[in-house]
Amino acid sequence: MNFKKIALGVVALTSIVTLAACGSSSSKDSLAKIKDKGTLTVALSPDYAPFEFQMLKDGKNEIVGSDVDLAKEIGKALGVKVNIQAMDFNNVLASVTSGKADIAISGISSDPDRAKAYDFSDSYYTANNVIVVKKEHQDKFATIADFKGKKVAAQKGSVQEKVATEQVKDASLVSLIKTGQAINELKNGTVEGVVLEEPIGKSYIAANSDLALSDVKLDSSDTDSYCVAMPKKSDKLKKEIDAVIKKLKAKDAINKSVEKNFELAQAAK
């Protein structure tokens, strides 16, 4: 009987030590975890030229863009390698929650709901919202009222999906996984417009002469500012990332990166 008590005591003590070790690991802050493994894993959706897109480089498919440039600058500041993980946009934030990615940089805007689940960096870029239409229908869709009873597409899980719902109220929303799908639906005549951020809309228009920007003016508030998303309680990591963003913005490096990648995206098409 005494032997059993001793054995049970050893098991209990082992369990406590194991739990303590697990607790110690899980409580380690995001910055320390990244530096310990020597890699910054970044989630993004590479269908947002000029921010993130795919192109052939030296015969190999490579993900490039201004968000990738930003990720590399953050990795350099932290002294770690950068590992880019491509996925659909509606999985980008979920990958941060699950721990598959350390941060997400994918034209992500902070809003009150997202801020409950994630920490966000200072804004690194602000874009206006626009509606892309067929060029031949540009005059036909000059006001929000013109979209009444029509179908308007937006990317699933994006701020633009919310903008379409709240600002183009009398239209029917079509939510699609990829931006490219929405553009194809527009070209095929399945939808009459696509709500996008202006740089992305212009990128698609530059590659498709049959598309144009509608004259519709959508409200573009601070919620359309791009930020880096990270797990909650990432105070130290946020401080480091904010410092990188501040440094780049002071040199106008992010705007220059967007312009450079816009030209690169057109050359790649």
Summarize pLDDT for 149-194 with one digit per residue, the tens.
999 999 998 889 999 999 999 999 999 999 999 999 999 999 999 9
Q: Which two tokens stand for residue 226?
A: 């791009």
Cα(140)–Cα(103) distance, integer angstroms: 42
Give every strand in the sheet of 193-197, ordered side by side.
Answer: 172-176, 151-155, 193-197, 129-134, 211-213
CA dihedral 86, 91, 97, 102 (to 10 degrees): 10
- Whether cis (ω within 30° of 0) applies to the bond prior to 50 is yes
What pLDDT does residue 266 have?
81
pLDDT above 70 as % of the chain: 88
Confidence at residue 219, expressed as pLDDT on a 0 to 100 scale? 83
CB neighbour list of residue 211: distance below 8 Å, 6 or more residues apart: 132, 133, 134, 135, 183, 186, 187, 204, 205
What are residue 175's DSSP bridge partners?
154
DSSP state of 146: G
- Band the pLDDT of 269: cuts 50, 70, 90: low
Q: Which pLDDT score, from 0 to 100, does residue 59 have?
A: 84
Q: Is residue 262 packed enough to be buried (19+ CB in 10 Å), middle (13-18) or exposed (0-12)?
A: buried
Asked if 96 and 118 count as a contact pair (C-beta separation under 8 A), the reply is: yes
Query: DSSP assignment, residue 109?
Result: B
d(CA 72, CA 42): 10
For 35-84, what is each residue's pLDDT tens digit? 999 999 999 999 888 999 999 888 899 999 999 999 999 999 999 999 99
Distance (Å, rounded) from C-alpha 131 to C-alpha 146?
A: 12
Express each pLDDT in 81-95 by its tens digit.
999 999 999 999 999
The rounded distance, in Å, linking the Cα atoms of 90 and 177 is 7
pLDDT digits (tens, 9 = 90+) for 127-143: 889 999 999 999 999 99
Say what percent of the chain tops pLDDT 90. Answer: 72
Q: Which residue has the higher pLDDT, 26 or 245?
A: 245
pTM: 0.76
